Chain A
Amino acid sequence: MTTDSKSAPDFVAPHVRGLPKSGIRDFFDIVVGRKDVISLGIGEPDFQTPWHIRERTIEAVERGATRYTSNLGTPELRQALAAYMRDSFHAEYDWQHEILVTVGVSEAFDLAMRAVLSPGDEVLYHEPCFVAYAPLIRMAHGVPVAVETFRRDDFRPTVEELKKKVTPRTRVLLLSFPNNPTGATLDRADTEALADFAIRHNLLVVSDEVYSELTYEGGRHSMAAIPRLRDRLIFLNGFSKAWSMTGFRLGYACAPAPLTDAMMKIHQFGMMCASSISQTAGLEALRHGDDAIAEMRDAYHLRRNFVVASLNEMGLDCFMPRGAFYVFPSIQSTGLSSKEFALRLLNECNVACVPGEAFGACGEGFLRCAYATGMTQLKEAMERMGKFVSALVH
């Protein structure tokens, strides 16, 4: 045995060793196993997957549709996705060359980063945002560059802020609306301005629109609906949120053929294909799932009204989010930090929310509350929070 003999930790690559764990997971390590906790921290729909989708999945297994599929995904699903893009956003994508079915949007995002970034390339992304982006950019040897968004702008990125951070090394503008954790959405003027910015600075736009179907007001304004962006856009979406199909792990990317082909190269070696069973389920969702979406969207919509009204009533300033299933109230009036507030709320009232700073430094002073939870729990959680806040400020 020599002195420089390595032990297990030494084999972990330095750039992986330096990767921080998800701030959400960090916080919820405290929650796991505790009884009587009402969790508003779960970023997953509480509805069961609609029965017709589950039934079709069972049939697919009975039929024996359990083989590898084309690397890109089954032709039927890609054709249905092309139709969906056309119907939803007037966006034309050739199902044979421009659509890739992936294992969730997470894989699609990972593929996009690995396909387009060279070491040192910078990616502009807005914070607060989903916790996976910056780590995945780093794993693709890119440099994540955060752009702050503010309550005064309803958490939408402004060209003014983007300009401050864009450099000659910037390759990608990452957008994610409707947004996790703020529930912010873009309107038409925003998407146009962001498209102009991307074109002016010669950037690729990667737009994760997984919450798009859960838009309650103001209409859905997709980056895919802007024709002049088509050649520099990777559009990402999935089935998890719209149809409550998280465990199916099914997403997709739409992009010009050279970009789809580049992502497919990585996907075919790393993943082969998305689950054949999930792809059958996804096809059923696209073909017959509109009513199910509408029903769930209506329920989220009402819960959102309830939660926002309750939070404002207890003195936590909360803007009315137009999408996703999160509200992002400010807790600054209490004088506590996000983490202090969340920890005390958990320990003293058994309600779990995620501190805003888990989603980026500018999330400090805010709290993410998911309303993907039944009304009974939401009512109880709001009551407990109300008492907690009122005891704090008096």
Chain B
Amino acid sequence: MDALLELLKKNARESDATLAKLLGISEQEVRARIAAYEEEGVIRGYQALLNTDRLDTCGVKAVIELRVRPEREGGFDRVAARIGKFPQVESMYLMSGAYDLLLIVKGASLQEVANFVSARLAPLDGVLSTSTHFMLKTYKDQGVLMESESHDDRLQVCP
């Protein structure tokens, strides 16, 4: 991956000036390349990575495995596009193996997510079965540990 994208993935809030110094290019070039990535749809957005377990009102999340009947034209894409429109669906992937679509769904409570699955997802045309697993705790997300491994405990003096 481009070094600029690597840096943005680690910290999307890094200033253009710092990015320019890190990469040894001008700030204008940094801005132009980011604009191009946004234009091409490579960069789809910038978000804070939250440890929601630390928030009081974090709601619940569930992983849902969906078996889906593919259509003659378009395979899974049409049904995936429909499911993707639900704001409750945070992420969705087409999978190999025992099921077809993997969804990460959020809701205010267990009940709300359960209702969403039984009332909205399961009855959809083409959905053969659902299997819902609630998430209990986040240890690591997007490559980031939710609890830091340790602070800098190096001696201030060495050698």
Contact = CB atoms under 8 A, between A and B. Distances in A.
Are A and B a genuine interacting pair, yes or no? yes
Q: Considering residues A22, A41, A106, A302, which has the most beta carbons from chain B within 10 angstroms of its beta carbon?
A: A302
A28 B157 contact: yes
B136 interface: no
B155 interface: yes
Q: Considering residues A29, A43, A44, A309, which has the most beta carbons from chain B within 10 angstroms of its beta carbon?
A: A309
Interface string B1-20: 00100010001000000101
A375 B157 CA distance: 20
A19 B21 CA distance: 42
A216 B155 CA distance: 26
Interface in A19-57: 22, 24-25, 28-29, 31-32, 37, 39, 41-44, 46, 48
A43 B20 CA distance: 26
Given A302-B3, A302-B7, A310 B21 contact: yes
A221 interface: no
A297 interface: no
Nearest to B10: A375
A113 B159 CA distance: 19
A88 interface: no
B25 to A, nearest CB: 9
B18 A305 contact: no
Nearest to A303: B22
A309 B21 contact: yes
Interface residues of A, number: 29
A369 to B, nearest CB: 15
Given A302-B23, A303-B22, A305-B22, A44 B152 contact: no
Given A46-B152, A48-B149, A31 B22 contact: no
B158 A306 contact: no
B96 interface: no
Interface residues of B, number: 18
Given A46-B152, A48-B149, A25 B157 contact: yes
A42 B155 CA distance: 8
A32 B157 contact: yes
Contact residues of B: prevailing secondary structure? loop
B24 interface: yes
Contacts of A361: none
B159 A24 contact: yes
A37 B155 CA distance: 13
Given A28-B157, A42-B158, A302 B22 contact: yes
Contacts of B3: 298, 302
A288 interface: no
Contact of B21 (A25, A31, A48, A306): A306
Nearest to B20: A309
B156 interface: yes
Q: Considering residues B7, B11, B149, B152, which has the most beta carbons from chain A within 10 angstroms of its beta carbon?
A: B152
Interface string B126-159: 0000000000000000000000011010111111
A1 to B, nearest CB: 40
Interface in A34-86: 37, 39, 41-44, 46, 48
Given A48-B149, A306-B18, A309-B21, A32 B7 contact: no
30 contacts: A24-B159, A25-B157, A25-B159, A28-B157, A31-B157, A32-B156, A32-B157, A39-B156, A41-B157, A42-B154, A42-B158, A43-B159, A44-B154, A44-B158, A46-B154, A298-B3, A302-B7, A302-B22, A302-B23, A305-B21, A305-B22, A305-B24, A306-B18, A306-B21, A306-B22, A309-B21, A309-B24, A310-B21, A375-B11, A379-B18
Query: Which are the 4 A-B pairs with shortest beta-carbon distances?
Result: A28-B157, A309-B21, A302-B22, A306-B21
Given A42-B156, A302-B7, 16 more contacts: A25-B157, A31-B157, A32-B156, A37-B156, A41-B157, A44-B154, A48-B150, A298-B3, A302-B22, A302-B23, A303-B22, A305-B21, A305-B24, A306-B21, A309-B24, A374-B152
